[in-house]
Structure 1
Amino acid sequence: MLRFDPFNELDSLTRGLLSGQTGSARTPRFMPMDLYKVDDHFLLTADLPGVDPGSIDIDVDHGTLTISAQRTSRSDDSVSWLTSERFYGTYRRQLTLGDNVDSDRISADYDNGVLTVTIPLAERAKPRKITVAHSDAPKTIEAPAH
């Protein structure tokens, strides 16, 4: 089972406000994502447009999946900005993995600005059919005559 903590983003925002970090208004606030189950695995898709694929870092540590990525801004001093609305900086999301996922087989792919993380279920968590043992020979039950 995969658990999603909806309060994680709120906690991060609160920590940022209480720590006194001012930061840029154009710093990414969150990484939009979808998470769903297909057959014997979970799929996480996250929008990371304009992110350098080499900056994407995915870690699993003590049951927590952490995704972080960096999008850098143009740092050319000769540019005279007319409009600058795109976010840049570090994106980061964390999810708590349940006991029923196989963290050793997690894989990821980045294509056209979308990160796809495949999180397989552990063998012990997959549905399975239990065979009922029985004998084919009929048994005679004898009752004492009264």
Structure 2
Amino acid sequence: MANYDPFREFERLASTFLDSGRRGPRQMPMDLYRLGDHYVLSADLPGIDPGSIDVDVDGQLLTIRAERTLATEENAQWIARERTEGTFLRQLSLGQGLDTENIAASYHNGVLSVKIPISEKAKPRKIEVSTQEAPQQIESSAT
């Protein structure tokens, strides 16, 4: 037996009516984590045509843009239409120390994965400490 929650129904109706006229880009949920010597960004883009996905890097700004268009059936009488169409956009400011030349992206099962490697300069490294067997003599010139 289903419970009727008037607040949930009000929220659904409000989001349907208020969001349906939205013209600007929509947000996409994402996860970002570090795995060894690179970062992995995973963004949910279900129902997106892979050809419409655009990943750009301009300086230190990573932009992900995608377009979802829904097929409309002629003479259809919609009972429910909750899936949205439009442009999805996400921009991230990349910090220093990332290898922006070797960023790679793939799309599988509605999830866009972007691999952002850490530059060699920014990776931690061990500095060798040299030792001298005998103290170095400093010679002075006497005139």
TM surpasses 0.5: yes
Runs (4 or more) in structure 1 with deviation over 4 Å come to 25-28
**Structure 2 unaligned runs (5+)?**
1-18, 136-143
Residue 65 of structure 1 aligns to a residue whose secondary structure is strand
Q: Is the 8 A contact 1:26 1:88 kept in 2?
A: no
Match of 2:57 among 41, 56, 60: 60
Map of 1:105 onto structure 2: 102
**Structure 1 unaligned runs (5+)?**
1-21, 140-146
Give aligned-pair identity as a percent: 52
Residue 51 of structure 2 aligns to a residue whose secondary structure is helix
Map of 2:72 onto structure 1: 75
Cα-Cα RMSD: 2.4
Q: Is the 8 A contact 1:26 1:87 kept in 2?
A: no
Distance in 1 between residues matched to 2:74 and 2:33, nearest whole Å:
44
Q: Is the 8 A contact 2:106 2:112 kept in 1?
A: yes
Q: What one-letter code is carried by the residue in structure 2 that aligns with 1:42? A: Y
CA positional deviation for 1:25: 5.0
Distance 1:52-1:32 versus aligned 2 partners, 3 A rule:
same
Q: How many residues align?
A: 119
Map of 1:31 onto structure 2: 28
Greater RCO (CA < 8 Å, at least 6 residues apart): 1
Distance in 2 between residues matched to 1:45 and 1:28, nearest whole Å:
18
Distance in 1 between residues matched to 2:110 and 2:25, nearest whole Å:
15
TM-score, reference length from structure 1:
0.74
Q: Is the 8 A contact 1:46 1:115 kept in 2?
A: yes
Distance in 2 between residues matched to 1:84 and 1:26, nearest whole Å:
17
TM-score, reference length from structure 2:
0.75
Map of 1:40 onto structure 2: 37
CA positional deviation for 1:75: 2.5
CA positional deviation for 1:48: 0.3
